[in-house]
Amino acid sequence: MIVWRDFARRMVEVVRMNGVRDGEVLRVLGEVPRHLFIPSLRGPCEAGDQGALRTAYGDHPLPIGFGQTISQPTMVGRMTELLSPEPPVRVLEVGSGCGYQCAVLARMGCSVVGVERIRDLADWSREVLGGLGMEVSIIHGDGRALGGDLGPFDGIVVSAGCSREDAEGIFGAFGGDGCRMVAPVNVGGGLQRVLVLEMEGGEVRESWQDLCRFVPLLGGVEG
């Protein structure tokens, strides 16, 4: 019988061919059941629908409702690779959506806090992550307006297209010495480029990485 792991294995090979090289990241991508995080596909995939499984483990973003998407596996792998988490570390994800990126980080041994502005998505992700036995803290809130007492974090992932100002604000509020953040920053034309910020000895270093496309980072909360 073909099971989801067969499709996940093929997905990982595509991610590898697309440039993600970190062996631990690739291993974890093959172990996290992506289909569980996609509301419309979870049931059909659990029933063994091969078409649904093929879709769930394709290397592309997919809608999860509320105008949001689950990110392309290659992009999740690349963001995780750039973050370079070395467990045990404490990681914040802003715009955690369905919880897939949180699951990948948790599977790598990180202590993860996710922030999601849409209550139904926050509740959904808690359910899925809990069902997988992952102790991830999901907060329903606006990632740009949370109190800084949540931090400091060793790593930060922003999973929505944001302004440079927002990226620096989140980094300043929740980062500390040794913290690294990866964030897709708007560069025009509906595109973003991944910005990596790192604090070392009180100085911030930056580098620009891949072009990408994420849903926008919005303020406020829903639900």
Cite the active site residues.
Answer: 71
Report yes or no: 201 and 178 within 8 Å, Cβ to Cβ: no
- Name the token pair of 70: 């689950």
C-alpha–C-alpha distance, residues 135 and 130, integer Å: 7
CB 64 within 8 A of CB 70: yes
What lies within 8 Å, CB to CB, of 39 at 6+ separation is: 64, 65, 98, 124
Q: Which of 41, 15, 43 is nearest to 27 (CA)?
A: 15
Residue 32 has phi, psi (to 5 degrees) of -90, 120
